[in-house]
A = this chain, B = another copy of it.
């Protein structure tokens, strides 16, 4: 790692916001791509985007372009979208369907499994088997597709084991994308995560969100009345969920679950939280805005929360799920794709309406992006001095730093 990166790391001060170069330094950004984004498991696509053999999507990250394609045998393959001849991209659109992956330049043609099937004007002794598309690790479970650009990625099974059973009833694999918005946030990707990891900012910035959820109630915001309300809502909800086979996960109560773990080792988590009485969905008025998803027997299933660092969070209500996927785009820019999923059979106009489906999370997301962009503008200043993080309110920001430093410095 470059010396300048070490210098940035040396500015780290436990329990405080990160110093300016963490959000601006181009060498650190390059190190983050190498050590995190080109190594970790990234949420990349939804199974429901590639249901038929030959369906593919292209996922871009940094300089890399990856084709994620459904094979004839029903499995999913991921390949670098780079021809082995002269390097042209092969899939030129962001999604599509193809019987083979044929380079538009000189028609080198690859199977959906990436093997080179045909090419012209090569020597007689040319070894096709040595010229398949470069593979990318890929895993699919319960509607979610992850890739890793690492040579040897870390074990994915713990993620699948932890998130799969919780995600299954949400029915993401039998869903469809009702709408999707691509954002370009003028802020470093870590600011976006730090924002996501605390609800200290919620009361003033997310008026609709705090009506539906108890996230703002960390220890110091609890009082007897609200504590009783949360306890009752949680007890009632968890008893009901248990009766219909839904798992709540370990977390219960107000505030945010500890994530990532304080030692920075746990980069995935799932839990189901009770909503404020009167709310059955994360919609503006709390009423469902689409048909029940997956195997949910009843709207009263709370909110299913899934997260994996560094690229994914999910909020699932009974009737719709909202997935956010992050991609860094330079030290000062982050791409976010927010997708709203509903049951695959739900019909727009009849079963759901974007005017009712989108606002809750579109507002919440855009409020957060604005906050992050303002913070980026401020941390650029020479006068910026990282302040103390609140143990009661910002514990997960501290945890995020633990994960980040561990990931960047190469801890296994």
A residues touching B (Cβ–Cβ < 8 Å)?
17, 20, 38, 63-65, 80-90, 92, 104-107, 120-123, 126, 131, 134, 194, 200-201, 204-205, 218, 220, 371, 374-375, 377-394
Among the interface residues A38, A81, A121, A134, which one has the most CB atoms of the partner chain B within 10 A?
A121
Give the chain B neighbours of A82 by CB distance below 8 A.
378-379, 381, 383-384
Known A20-B87, A82-B381, A120-B393; 17 more pairs at CB < 8 Å: A63-B382, A65-B377, A80-B381, A81-B381, A85-B387, A86-B194, A86-B375, A87-B375, A87-B381, A88-B375, A88-B377, A88-B378, A92-B374, A106-B201, A120-B220, A121-B394, A122-B388
Give the chain B neighbours of A377 by CB distance below 8 A.
65, 88-89
Give the chain B neighbours of A386 by CB distance below 8 A.
86-87
A194–B106 Cα distance when bound, in Å, is 13
Give the chain B neighbours of A393 by CB distance below 8 A.
106, 120-121
A104 touches B374 (CB 8 A): yes
Say how far A56's CB is from chain B's closest CB, in angstroms: 16
Contact of A121 among B92, B107, B383, B390 (CB under 8 A): B390
A17 touches B89 (CB 8 A): no
B387 touches A63 (CB 8 A): no
A71–B380 Cα distance when bound, in Å, is 27
Say how far A352's CB is from chain B's closest CB, in angstroms: 33
Contact of A371 among B17, B85, B105 (CB under 8 A): B105
A65–B122 Cα distance when bound, in Å, is 45
B387 touches A83 (CB 8 A): yes
A379–B122 Cα distance when bound, in Å, is 21
- Identify the 5 closest CB pairs spanning chains A and B, nearest first: A80-B383, A121-B390, A87-B379, A85-B387, A89-B378
Instruction: Name 6 A/B residue pairs within 8 A (Cβ), A-sorted.
Output: A64-B382, A80-B381, A82-B378, A85-B388, A87-B375, A87-B381
A388–B123 Cα distance when bound, in Å, is 10
Say how far A194's CB is from chain B's closest CB, in angstroms: 8
Contact of A200 among B63, B106, B134 (CB under 8 A): B106
Contact of A63 among B92, B205, B381 (CB under 8 A): B381
Say how far A337's CB is from chain B's closest CB, in angstroms: 19
Contact of A220 among B83, B121, B392 (CB under 8 A): B121
Say how far A189's CB is from chain B's closest CB, in angstroms: 16
Closest to A107 in B: B204
Give the chain B neighbours of A89 by CB distance below 8 A.
374-375, 377-378
Give the chain B neighbours of A383 by CB distance below 8 A.
64, 80, 82, 134
Say how far A322's CB is from chain B's closest CB, in angstroms: 23
Contact of A381 among B65, B371, B380 (CB under 8 A): B65
Once A82-B381, A374-B104, A381-B64 are accepted as A-B contacts, the answer to whether A87 and B17 lie under 8 Å apart by CB is yes
Say how far A11's CB is from chain B's closest CB, in angstroms: 13
B200 touches A385 (CB 8 A): no
Say how far A13's CB is from chain B's closest CB, in angstroms: 13
Among the interface residues A64, A88, A123, A388, which one has the most CB atoms of the partner chain B within 10 A?
A88
Say how far A123's CB is from chain B's closest CB, in angstroms: 7
A121–B217 Cα distance when bound, in Å, is 12
A87 touches B121 (CB 8 A): no
Once A88-B371, A371-B104, A378-B87 are accepted as A-B contacts, the answer to whether A123 and B200 lie under 8 Å apart by CB is no
Contact of A378 among B83, B200, B204, B218 (CB under 8 A): B83
Give the chain B neighbours of A122 by CB distance below 8 A.
388, 390
A387 touches B84 (CB 8 A): yes
Say how far A320's CB is from chain B's closest CB, in angstroms: 29
Closest to A136 in B: B383
Contact of A105 among B38, B107, B121, B375 (CB under 8 A): B375
B220 touches A85 (CB 8 A): no
B391 touches A123 (CB 8 A): yes
